[in-house]
Amino acid sequence: MSNISPVTPSFVFGYWRPWKEDSNVFDSYLDYTRDVSLMKYGAEVVGTYINEASAGQIKAINQASTDQIRAINKASKEQIEAISQASKEQLEAINQLGREIGRGMNVLSNHMVDINNELHFLNRNVDIQIEQQKLGNLLLQNIAELLRVPDSEKERQHSIELGIKFFVNAAKDSDLYADALEELLKAEFLMKQDYFVLHRIGCIYLHAEKYINPEKALEYFLRAAKYASVESDAHAVRLANVLTNNFNTVNSALSDSAKIGLLVSDSYEKASFSAYVLGQFANAVTYQSKALKFNSTPQNRFLLSKYQIRNGDIADGIQNLERCIDDMPVLALACFKEIDLVNEPEVLKLVAGKNKTINQEINTLMNAWKDVESAEASSVIKQLADLLNNSYEIKVSKYDMFRKRALQITDDIYSIEAEIDSFITKLTMRTFKKFDVKVVIDELKRAKDLPFENMKEIFYDVKKRVFLADENEEKFQKMESEIDSLITKTRNSVFLTISAEDAVWELNKIKDLPLEKIPASLEFIKEKLNNDRLRIGMKYAGGIIFYLDESGKHGKVCADIDFGIATWGSSGETGCGFLDKQDGMQNTRKIVEIASWEVKRSIFGKKHIPVLTAARLCLESQFNGFNDWYLPTSEELGLVFKVCHPSTQSRWAESILKQATAKIDSKINFVLDEIINAPFLRSGVQEVYWSSSDGSVNGKGLLANYAFAQVVLIVSDGKQLQMKEIKQELLPRSTLANVKAVRAF
């Protein structure tokens, strides 16, 4: 052990004293109180701290070795009396503060049990272990490359590698520190500016029991810091990353220079501790300030505050201590690990004030949460009440969490209230035919007075209903448009049994039904109207409808029976050419007027005798009570057989097939052999129907004495007669053919 005589002795609770062999916690404390003549707290206080911290510690004290008891007994009578007179009020104040911050006095335990992993930096006993772990990481790398040792310096490289291996393995065998120191000193001799080697030598002088020499440690750490601070090689970043990996000191976001600065900071921090051990408190403040400059962490600031307070710079120390506690609340508890801090009333005042402030803020927050109308509020209030009994750092962290949550809830409330107001404004400008806007607006206004969750639930429910109302409104508008279109069509339509007015009334009534009932009701009325509406093939106005105009009110019908058999007409220019395809009534009248007479001459002159032509049969008919029947034009006749041919009308089919059967039967009478008759039945017979169109052009031409007729082929399949072919042909006017009459309505 070196003969170090510090200017002013220091006291770090629970650690070795370099000037005293086999020191322990009690010896260290007695040395501290004797040399500094600071009798605020004596051995009795320390004993009380330990009693409060651990019953096991009390047992350990009671079982202290005889040598320890003798050491205590050797203390001067004045010291013992001073110790026994320690202020019980101050002791109780510290005890109470310890309880209030949530940890009790176990923070003063000599075991230095970490409150949090974040406080490992306070335990100097593990410093050497951390260094060994760092170098263990380094052994896994290419050391020569990381340290940038050129191949030409094989001896230095060899010494560094051996020194690192011995240093790491000294954790198992402390004798290896001697070998490590020997090899590292060789490496230093070969290159005195290698801050990596200098730093490791400093660690051995600071921590290896047989080689402890704070003065040398200080020298080496300062040299390491000096040379590391001028490092400019970017490759040094790799070394910084390896040495600081897994020790919570490196951030991937840091710049390269900042990462190199971590090496500098580490050397200055250990230099400041070495100066502190030597009692050079002013130097400790200087070096720790540099460490903080290169690595501004709450831990480095905490150590600076400790050295400042130990040096008597109370105001600066308190300022830095408050700042680091604000950045890292658990450091409030770390104060109880450092006798330099716990012995300072201003420190206790600061910690007590911090604890009081956080308690007040928690109580204020509890009251604020009571105003939050939320199901979550009651749970949070209970958690906040429990939080008051927790440790300081937990109070701070959870308080901030609950505060942010309260702000979020408040923001959410304001946000959703604003959203509701905006939604109400939009609703007031909307009109729905199947949705009562006023009801939901009143519902939303009432919801604003409810707890947050209920308000939110109602608002989202209303939004969903309005969204569905929008969809339904769109559906209703489509249905309403369809109904309005149907109403317009119905007003201009003719029905068999339903009046248009009644149909329109029913359609308007559908609009007032619930949306879900409208489709079925609409389809029912549509089917009802369609079944009662005039349509092709329906019997109406004395016949069968074969044509309807766009209005659906007007059209043409054909008689459902033939009016007989007749010639088309006599010769003469009727002007009923095939170009006059539309005006069947005009053609019929022309035919009756010009070509439906037989002229007989006598001594008395000419006499016109009416001939029962096809046109006359139609024009003079009173069939089904109507007197406006006429012979259809070729186009109208074609439409009759196309849209409404006899096979679809039982009465007409019966009539035409009866005629055809009669003709077939008459022919069968001439043929006795059934075998001979069968082919004739299969070939069929033709039925011919006159139109009112002749073959002339403007009443003239070679085909003026011909007229268009519809030819229908009737065949038999051996079981029943069928209409097989329908076509139009020009036949002589004198040809006898069937007469099919039509009329307009």
pLDDT exceeds cutoff 80 at 605:
no
Tell whether 377 is covered by a domain.
Answer: no
Buried b (16+ CB within 10 A) or exposed e, 612-644: ebbbbbbbebebeebebbbbbbbbbbbbbbeeb
Q: Tens of pLDDT along 520-534?
A: 999 999 888 888 888
> Using CA atoms, how far apart are residues 704 and 558, in angstroms rounded to an integer?
26
719 and 666 belong to one structural domain: yes
pLDDT exceeds cutoff 80 at 582:
no
Confidence of residue 713 (pLDDT cuts 50, 70, 90): confident
Q: For residue 109, which of 93, 101, 96, 98 has the smallest C-alpha distance?
A: 98
Those residues with Cβ within 8 angstroms of residue 206's Cβ, 6 or more apart along the chain or in another chain: 127, 212, 214, 217, 221, 270, 273, 274
722: part of which helix (H) or strand (E)? strand 721-732
Q: For residue 86, which of 142, 137, 117, 44 has the smallest C-alpha distance?
A: 44
Tell whether 571 is covered by a domain.
Answer: yes
Compute the average pLDDT of residues 445-465: 86
If you average pLDDT over every residue of the chain, what do you get? 75
Q: Are 95 and 48 in contact (CB under 8 A)?
A: yes
Total domain count, the chain = 3
582 and 563 belong to one structural domain: yes
158 and 38 belong to one structural domain: no
229 and 129 belong to one structural domain: yes
Tell whether 442 is covered by a domain.
Answer: no
Pairing of strands 737-739, 564-566: antiparallel
pLDDT given at position 150: 66
Q: Are 346 and 318 in contact (CB under 8 A)?
A: yes
Measured torsion, CA atoms of residues 405, 411, 412, 418, in degrees rounded to the nearest 10: 170
pLDDT exceeds cutoff 60 at 592:
yes
95 and 207 belong to one structural domain: no
> Using CA atoms, how far apart are residues 402 and 379, in angstroms rounded to an integer?
11
Encoded amino acid at 678, one letter? A
pLDDT given at position 242: 54
Largest CA distance in the chain: 189
pLDDT exceeds cutoff 60 at 309:
yes
Confidence of residue 137 (pLDDT cuts 50, 70, 90): low
Tell whether 152 is covered by a domain.
Answer: yes
Q: Among the three residues 246, 280, 314, which one is the final residue of a domain in this structure?
A: 280
User: Which residue carries 């109602």 as its tokens?
Assistant: 458
Q: For residue 741, which of 581, 506, 542 has the smallest C-alpha distance?
A: 542
Tell whether 232 is covered by a domain.
Answer: yes
pLDDT given at position 696: 76
Angle subtended by helix axes 127-139 and 154-169, to nearest 10:
130
pLDDT given at position 272: 95
Terminal CA-CA length for the chain: 136
Q: CA-based angle 676:680:681, to the nearest 5?
A: 110
128 and 42 belong to one structural domain: no
Q: How far is CA 229 from the centre of its chain?
A: 50
Measured torsion, CA atoms of residues 657, 662, 664, 665, in degrees rounded to the nearest 10: 140
> Using CA atoms, how far apart are residues 432 and 230, in angstroms rounded to an integer?
78
Pairing of strands 555-558, 543-548: antiparallel
Q: For residue 368, which of 410, 411, 398 has the smallest C-alpha distance?
A: 410
Handedness of CA 607, 613, 619, 622 (dihedral sign): positive
602: part of which helix (H) or strand (E)? strand 597-602
> Using CA atoms, how far apart are residues 166 and 477, in angstroms rounded to an integer?
90
> Using CA atoms, how far apart are residues 525 and 547, in angstroms rounded to an integer?
24
Alpha helices in 314-391 (DSSP H): 314-327, 331-334, 339-342, 345-370, 375-387
Encoded amino acid at 12, one letter? V
In this structure, of 21-30, 462-471, 582-591, 631-640, the range with the lowest mean pLDDT score is: 21-30
pLDDT given at position 230: 80
> Using CA atoms, how far apart are residues 494 and 545, in angstroms rounded to an integer?
13
pLDDT given at position 606: 75
53 and 126 belong to one structural domain: no
Q: Tens of pLDDT along 180-229?
A: 999 999 989 988 988 888 998 999 998 888 888 989 999 999 999 998 88
Q: For residue 708, which of 635, 646, 645, 659 has the smallest C-alpha distance?
A: 635
pLDDT given at position 222: 95
Alpha carbon of 468 to those of 168, 442, 455, 607: distances in Å?
73, 19, 20, 86
Tell me which residue range forms the domain holding 80: 25-108
Percentage of the chain lying above the pLDDT 90 cut:
25
Q: Any idea how long the chain is? A: 745
pLDDT given at position 700: 62
In sequence order, the β-bridge partners of residue 722 are 715
Q: Among the three residues 46, 78, 108, which one is the final residue of a domain in this structure?
A: 108
Q: Tens of pLDDT along 3-53?
A: 333 333 343 333 334 444 444 434 444 444 344 333 333 333 333 433 443
In this structure, of 106-120, 158-172, 306-320, the range with the lowest mean pLDDT score is: 106-120
Handedness of CA 141, 147, 150, 153 (dihedral sign): negative
pLDDT exceeds cutoff 60 at 73:
no
Encoded amino acid at 549, one letter? D
199: part of which helix (H) or strand (E)? helix 195-207
pLDDT given at position 134: 67
Those residues with Cβ within 8 angstroms of residue 541's Cβ, 6 or more apart along the chain or in another chain: 557, 626, 743, 745
pLDDT exceeds cutoff 70 at 584:
yes
Helix (H, G, I), strand (E, B) or coil at 60: helix
Q: Are 202 and 217 in contact (CB under 8 A)?
A: yes
In sequence order, the β-bridge partners of residue 540 are 543
Compute the average pLDDT of residues 382-394: 86
pLDDT given at position 649: 47
Tell whether 323 is covered by a domain.
Answer: no
Q: Tens of pLDDT along 255-280?
A: 556 677 788 898 999 999 999 988 89
Confidence of residue 109 (pLDDT cuts 50, 70, 90): very low
Q: What DSSP string runs through 234-261?
A: TTHHHHHHHHHTTTT---TTS-HHHHHH
596 and 723 belong to one structural domain: yes
Tell whether 563 is covered by a domain.
Answer: yes
58 and 192 belong to one structural domain: no
Task: Count Cα atoms within 13 angstroms, Cβ side, for 196.
Answer: 27
Confidence of residue 686 (pLDDT cuts 50, 70, 90): confident
Angle subtended by helix axes 452-491 and 392-428, to nearest 10:
20
Q: Tens of pLDDT along 442-451?
A: 999 998 888 8
Q: In what order do the strands lie in the sheet with 564-566?
A: 564-566, 737-739, 685-694, 706-716, 721-732
Those residues with Cβ within 8 angstroms of residue 342's Cβ, 6 or more apart along the chain or in another chain: 94, 108, 335, 336, 348
Helix (H, G, I), strand (E, B) or coil at 427: helix
98 and 186 belong to one structural domain: no
The first and second tokens of residue 588, run together, are 């019929």
pLDDT given at position 394: 84
User: Which residue carries 């001028």 as its tokens?
Assistant: 230
233 and 161 belong to one structural domain: yes
Q: Tens of pLDDT along 645-679?
A: 654 444 555 555 565 555 555 444 433 333 333 33
Of 702 and 469, more confident: 469
Q: Rg (Cα) of the chain, in Å, rounded?
A: 59
pLDDT exceeds cutoff 60 at 250:
no
pLDDT given at position 312: 94
Q: For residue 472, which of 435, 523, 424, 423 has the smallest C-alpha distance?
A: 435
Spell out where 385-494 has E strands. none
Q: How far is CA 59 from the centre of its chain?
A: 61
pLDDT exceeds cutoff 80 at 99:
no
pLDDT given at position 620: 94
65 and 124 belong to one structural domain: no
Q: Are 393 and 333 in contact (CB under 8 A)?
A: yes
Q: For residue 198, which of 181, 215, 212, 211 has the smallest C-alpha distance?
A: 181
pLDDT exceeds cutoff 80 at 356:
yes
Those residues with Cβ within 8 angstroms of residue 412's Cβ, 6 or more apart along the chain or in another chain: 452, 456
Task: Count Cα atoms within 13 angstroms, Cβ side, for 578.
Answer: 18
pLDDT given at position 82: 42
> Using CA atoms, how far apart are residues 281 and 273, in angstroms rounded to an integer?
9
Tell whether 735 is covered by a domain.
Answer: yes
> Using CA atoms, how far apart are residues 394 and 102, in angstroms rounded to an integer?
9
> Using CA atoms, how far apart are residues 336 and 393, in angstroms rounded to an integer?
14
Give the count of beta carbons closer than 10 Å to the beta carbon of residue 409: 19
Q: Among the three residues 263, 280, 297, which one is the final residue of a domain in this structure?
A: 280
> Using CA atoms, how far apart are residues 53 and 502, in angstroms rounded to an integer?
99
